[in-house]
Amino acid sequence: MLKILNKLRVLTFVIPTILSLSYPALSADKPELTVYTYDSFASDWGPGPQIKNAFEAQCECVLTFVGLDSSLGILGRIRLEGQNSMADVILGLDTSQMTVARNTELLHPHGLNDMSDRLALPETASNWSDQHFVPFDWGFFAFVYDEKALSSVPQSMADLIRADDVKIVVQDPRTSTPGFGLMLWLKSLYGDDAPAQWQALAPKIITVTKGWSEAYGLFLDGEADMVLSYTTSPAYHRIAEGQTQYNYASFAEGHYMQVEVAAMLKSTDQPELAQSFLAFLLSNEAQNIIPTTNWMYPAAAGIALPDGFEDRAKPSGLLLADDDIANNQEAWLKEWVTAMSQ
Amino acid sequence: MTQYNEIRSYHVNGGQFNRLPLTGIAIVIGLWGVLAIALIALLQAATTFDQPRLFLGLYDILISDNRIAYALQSALIQATLSTLCSVLIAIPLSLVMARRYHWFGMPFLRIMTGLAFVIPTTVAASGLLAVWGRQGVINHLIAAVSAILPFPIMELPSFFGLKAVVLAHIFFNAPLIIRILLPRLLSVPETHWRLARMTGMTARDQFRFIEWPSIKAMILPMMVLVFLFCFSSFALVLMLGGGPAVTTLEVEIYSAIRIAYDFHLAVILTLLQIAVAMIMLLIMVSHPIMRQAMPQSISAINPPSVYILVSPSVSLKIFDFIQIGILAILLVLPILALILRGISSDMISVLTAPSFWQALVNSLSIALASAICVTGLAVILAETRYRCESNRHQLSRWQQMIILFLESGVMMTLVIPSIVMGTAMFILLRHLSNVFVIAPYLVLFANILMGLPVSYRLISGKWIIARRQDHHIRLAYGISRMTNLRFLILPVMGRDIGLIFGMVAAMSMGDLGVIALFSSSDFETLPWLLYQQAGRYRTDEAAATAVLLMAVTVLVFIMGYVIGRWLSSAPSLAPSSAPFPASLTPFGARD
């Protein structure tokens, strides 16, 4: 028995050592810029590694991406950390979170003056004059389908709501960004009538998942005819997989937009570096990385999209005012739960 | 001297109370303390965001806003149904698995029952859909059959909804229940079976007089465990529930923290979950079954060599056949579907990525470390539970209270949502210079909290019986504690300890848990890698990673089995030790 205890004692030393070995040491001589983002931006397949290399090549610094579980997670984290945040820049919030983020009073104006000249956002958001947020990419929410499996594709949201043989899978607005986007989409189209429209839509919804990945997986497994995703999703299948049967349904009323933004924090100890990173995000170099890694449209003007990325005219965009969202989101979420639970 | 003191203490107490288990009580207080500190930290952070409204809030939330009441009701119905179905399916299955222990396919089925519980939930859901979904095996079968037949057959109705959630919970929990019941059935002393044979018992008699008495003490605690699992399930319920009509409180807790920043609401809802758990535990502890001492003796797990019915009737054979069929459809088919999909996918590109190997090393370190800690804690807590009891047949109110305190402390970690625990840990540690350096330790800590309820449940019942059994021998011979452990406890309990070691390690391998809240790319685990692949269109790679994760999980599980065999290898002095060493059988009692 003592022998067993001795062995266990050895393990208690070995294991923390293994754990601590799995950490790379940071180089101490260069300044470090820490960027909080969502996990898939920072992952090996996301834009993170390439952007890091490109920026480090010109900044004499170390750029560290910290991948948090979602864009909601980024905001939650800086709110908790307050003035002591490790982050210098947050990247990956979208327009619906801007007011909440601004109200934390943790953000510092980006100070980029000529920004709106460089941007190429769709009409709805073309007048970008925000003092805190730098948009770096954008996309439309859309229902993606498999051409081989679905023949009668709805041509508008009203079509989809009236359709009786289409099965769709969506995400929960309480836990996921696209789900929240769909809630805003119906709100911007129908206003106070949105709950009734949700009720009409409900029979077509096979399930409401926690996140995008579960919903998209269900769609790829053939459980649903359409999935709530982005207009850029088919581009992934065309470019990365060479599969052409996936497409998105273009809706006549327009598509709700997601503009992803970055901002620097007041508490940063590297303000110049943070600012130059925000400017770098809109440079041709960074913007060219975005389309085939983050699978969104680049925010800057004059960026050529790779082959296969887009072969249709872009739909018109819908966007609600961000303070409107901040003031009403609780009420709208309650409305959604009530409408969908009946 | 110690020995003398110990013996004396038994005499002084007149067998009424054993020595007070201070270590164990300290651990339980620690568990409750962690919980209290977490909730206080959240409340404190909440006051920096808005006005305190803890008690006022409770009224608001339960009465005026029917959303929460609805979520509570939905979760209660779902969890009750899931628990009842899981238990009703698992009991006959474990009887069959014990009865047909030597059937050639049984080792395979036993591995499968060990595997189901530890598959990441959303992965398992896609396995279930591969069987029951629109494009699933069953619908393909129906299509194939109706192509031959002149008339069309109805396809399966949509899988999603309450039934899908219940089925998924059966998939996870029935194997767990089997894992708890099977060792009990296999630990019935061989003399019982001989007696049954001599007296010509039928299958029904055998169930009534041997099998049921040996498992009945486990039923209630197990139901509480399964209920709490189902009650606090989250991503799975959303994915299969078909809409917010089937929901749990965890969804509301998540959105309270993430969208509304309403930490008060999150704390109140967590307290609500704790209250439900406490009610369940109270029912359990005060139930007459639990107050009776468990009179039965046990031996080391040994595949019964004489476990043969006098007349293995045809109807019993049919019954067993049907049961194994149910297990195959419920459990084996979905897992096979996952394995097939994974193997046919992009295995090479996953295996050649350095991130996979780094994640594997990280996951294995976490798994081993938490398995060691949890096994130790579970044994100490089981011993504590034993010492809380007197040797009388009825427990006093006071003893019941201590037991409730202990059981609830252990089980409570189940109903603390990981987002609450993660956020609280973060609030507490945010002033450290670099919270990411301690991320592995936080993951380890969370895994310990997660593994404790199951492993305690797996080990405590049998531990108590084993300790009662050796009590008299210890008194008679005055042997030391170490000798006692080596020759009386370990031979009987070794395999169970090995089982929980393997089980906890396997669970830790598959758990995403708090890592999502803390992770930076510096510390990736396998489930985190899987989560990232699935979140990045890489469904193919995710399928491959899932299979590799399952393979590693099986290896970890087998390691637990080997450890169990090594621990139990001493010659047993226990009263009804196995005449047949388990090592003679191809796969032993455990896998």
- ipTM greater than cut 0.85: no
pLDDT-based confidence at B587, cuts 50/70/90? very low
**Interface subset of A 130-159, CB within 8 angstroms of B:** none
Q: Do B239 and A338 touch (CB under 8 A)?
A: no
DSSP B529: H
- Averaged pLDDT for residues A123-137: 85
Please list every residue in chain B whose beta carbon sits closer than 8 Å to the beta carbon of residue A19. Answer: 362, 365-366, 369, 440-441, 444
pLDDT at position B60 = 64
How many angstroms separate the CA of residue A113 from the nearest CA in chain B?
32
Of A19, A208, A213, the CB nearest to B243: A208
Q: Lowest-confidence range among A42-51, A240-249, B81-90, B505-514?
A: B505-514
In one-letter notation, the amino acid at residue A314 is K
Q: Write out pLDDT tens, residues B221-234.
A: 889 889 998 998 88
What pLDDT does A20 receive?
Answer: 47
Name the more confident of B511 and A179.
A179
Most confident of A23-32, A129-138, B65-74, B351-360: A129-138
d(CA A90, CA A84): 14
When pLDDT is averaged across residues B205-226 and rounded to a whole number, the result is 86
Reply yes or no on whether the pLDDT at B159 is more than 70.
Answer: yes
Q: Please say if the pLDDT value at position B10 is more than 50.
A: no
Arithmetic mean of pLDDT, B261-274:
85
> Residue B7: what pLDDT?
40
Q: Which residues of A touch B426 (CB under 8 A)?
A: 77, 80
Closest alpha carbon within chain B to A215: B239
Contact B516 A12 (CB under 8 A): no
Chain A: nearest CA to B145, how far in angstroms?
Answer: 21
**pLDDT tops 60 at residue A88:** yes
In this prediction, residue B372 carries a pLDDT of 93
| Residue B581, pLDDT score | 36
**Among B122, B252, B372, whose Cβ lies nearest the Cβ of A214?**
B122
**With 70 as the cut, is the pLDDT of residue B468 above it?**
yes
Residues 6 or more apart whose CB falls under 8 angstroms from that of A54 comprise A280, A285, A286, A289
Is the predicted pLDDT of residue B358 greater than 80, yes or no? Answer: yes
Residues of chain A neighbouring B235 (CB-CB closer than 8 A): 209-211, 214
pLDDT on residue B9: 39
Torsions phi, psi for B432 (to 5 deg): -65, 150
Short-list B172, B173, B283, B165, CA closest to B222: B173
Using the Cβ of A283 and the Cβ atoms of chain B, whether some distance falls under 8 Å is answered with: no
Q: How far apart are the first and last CA of chain A?
A: 61
pLDDT confidence of residue B50: 61
Residues in B closer than 8 angstroms to A167, CB to CB, are 134, 158
A217, B65: Cβ pair inside 8 Å? no
- Chain B hits for A11, CB-CB cut-off 8 Å, are 368-369, 372
- Provide the number of CB pairs (under 8 Å) joining chain A to chain B: 199
Percent of chain B residues topping a pLDDT of 70: 81
Average pLDDT over residues B514-524: 64
Provide the mean pLDDT of chain A: 86
| Mean pLDDT (whole number) for B282-308 | 61
Average the pLDDT over B444-466 and give the result: 84
Q: Which residues 166-185 of chain A have a CB within 8 Å of chain B?
A: 167, 172, 174-175
A146 beta partners = A246
Contact yes or no for B536 and A210 at CB 8 A: no
Region B539-560: mean pLDDT is 85
Q: How far is CA B213 from CA B100, B216, B302, in A?
A: 20, 5, 18
Residue bearing the bigger pLDDT, B147 or A199: A199
Contact residues on chain B for A342, CB-CB shorter than 8 A: 245
Please, how many CA atoms are within 13 Å of residue B46, restricted to the half-sphere of its CB? Answer: 24
pLDDT at residue A70, rounded to an integer: 78
pLDDT at B311: 53
**Distance between CA atoms of residues B182 and B590, nearest Å:** 10
Least confident of B189-198, B355-364, B549-558: B189-198
A165 neighbors A152 (Cβ within 8 angstroms): yes
Exposed / middle / buried, residue B358 (Cβ in 10 Å: 0-12, 13-18, 19+): middle
Q: Residue range B125-130: average pLDDT? A: 88
Using the Cβ of A229 and the Cβ atoms of chain B, whether some distance falls under 8 Å is answered with no
Evaluate if residue B287 carries a pLDDT over 50: yes
- Asked if B49 lies within 8 A of A2 by C-beta distance, the reply is no
CB contact under 8 A, A22 and B535: no
- Average pLDDT score over residue span A62-87: 85
Q: A157-216, pLDDT tens digit by residue?
A: 999 999 888 999 999 998 888 999 999 999 999 999 999 999 999 999 999 998 888 899
Residue B21, pLDDT score: 73
Reported as a single tens digit per residue, the pLDDT across A278-292 is: 999 999 999 999 998
pLDDT at A168: 94
Check residue B15 and give its pLDDT.
41
Residues from chain A contacting residue B239 (CB–CB below 8 Å) = 207, 209-210, 214, 218
Residue B148 makes CB contacts below 8 A (sequence gap 6+) with none
Question: Using a CB-CB distance cutoff of 8 angstroms, which residues of chain A are in contact with residue B439?
Answer: none
pLDDT, tens digit, 9 for 90 and up, residues B324-343: 999 998 899 999 988 888 88
SS3 state of residue B363: helix
The half-sphere exposure of B70 on its side-chain side, counting CA atoms within 13 A, is: 16
For an interface test with B, the pick among A174, A229, A233, A334 (most B C-beta atoms closer than 10 Å) comes out as A174
Residue B1 has pLDDT above 50, yes or no: no
For residue A22, the distance in angstroms to the closest alpha carbon of chain B comes to: 7
Taking the C-alpha atoms of residue B508 and residue B504, their distance in angstroms, rounded to an integer, is 6
Taken in order of first residue, the domains within chain A and their CATH numbers are 25-138+259-298 (3.40.190.10), 140-257+313-341 (3.40.190.10)
Q: Which among B126, B441, B567 has CB closest to A221?
A: B126
The per-residue pLDDT of chain B, averaged, comes to: 78
pLDDT at res. B99: 82
What percent of chain A is modeled with pLDDT above 90? 47
pLDDT for the residue numbered A165:
84
CB contact under 8 A, B238 and A76: no
At B392, the pLDDT band (50, 70, 90 cuts) reads: low
- Token readout for B375 is 């096994």
In the structure, what pLDDT confidence band is assigned to residue B247 with cuts at 50, 70 and 90? confident
pLDDT confidence of residue B64:
62
C-beta atoms of B521 and A206 within 8 A: no
Please check the confidence at residue B160 and state whether its pLDDT lies above 70. yes
Cα-to-chain-centroid distance, residue A103: 21
**Are A221 and B45 in contact (CB < 8 Å)?**
no
- Whole-number pLDDT of residue A96: 87
Cβ-nearest to B532 among A1, A16, A43: A43
Asked if A22's CB is within 8 angstroms of B241's CB, the reply is: no
- Average confidence (pLDDT) over A234-257: 91
Determine the distance in angstroms separating the CA of B97 from the nearest CA of chain A, rounded to an integer. Answer: 33
Chain B CB contacts of A4 under 8 Å are 567
Lowest mean pLDDT among B189-203, B224-238, B392-406, B570-584: B570-584
Indicate if the pLDDT at residue B356 is higher than 80: yes
Residue A262 pLDDT > 80: yes
Three-class secondary structure assignment of chain A: CHHHHHHHHHHHHHHHHHHHHCCCCCCCCCCEEEEEEEHHHHCCCCCHHHHHHHHHHHHCCEEEEEEECCHHHHHHHHHHHHHHCCCCEEEEEEHHHHHHHHHCCCEECCCCCCHHHHECCCHHHCCCCCCCCEEEEEEEEEEEEECCCCCCCCCCHHHHHHCCCCCEEEECCCCCHHHHHHHHHHHHHHHHHHHHHHHHHHHHEEEEECCHHHHHHHHHCCCCCEEEEECCHHHHHHHHHCCCCEEEECCCCCEEEEEEEEEEECCCCCHHHHHHHHHHHCCHHHHHHHHHHHCCEECECCCCCCCCCCCCCCCCEECCCHHHHHHHHHHHHHHHHHHHHC
Chain A closest CA to B380's CA: distance in Å?
14
CB contact, 8 Å: A46 with chain B? yes
Q: For chain B, which domains are there?
A: 1-37+346-404+416-591 (1.10.3720.10), 53-294+305-344 (1.10.3720.10)
CA nearest to B222, candidates B177, B163, B186: B177
From residue B557, give the alpha-carbon distance in Å to each of A34, A328, B357, B369.
Answer: 39, 50, 19, 14
Contact in structure between A143 and A302 (CB atoms under 8 Å): no
Which one of A81-85, B166-170, B493-497, B576-580 scores highest in mean pLDDT? Answer: B166-170
State the best of B122, B165, B239 to mutate against chain A, taking most chain A CBs within 10 Å: B239
Which of the two residues, B349 and B521, has the higher pLDDT score? B349
Q: Which residues of A touch B376 (CB under 8 A)?
A: 8
Coil, helix or strand at residue B151: coil
A321 falls in which pLDDT band (50, 70, 90)?
confident
- Return the pLDDT at B470: 73
> What's this model's pTM, rounded to 2 decimal places?
0.83
Q: Which of B167, B448, B488, B520 to mutate to test the interface with A (most CBs of A within 10 A)?
A: B520
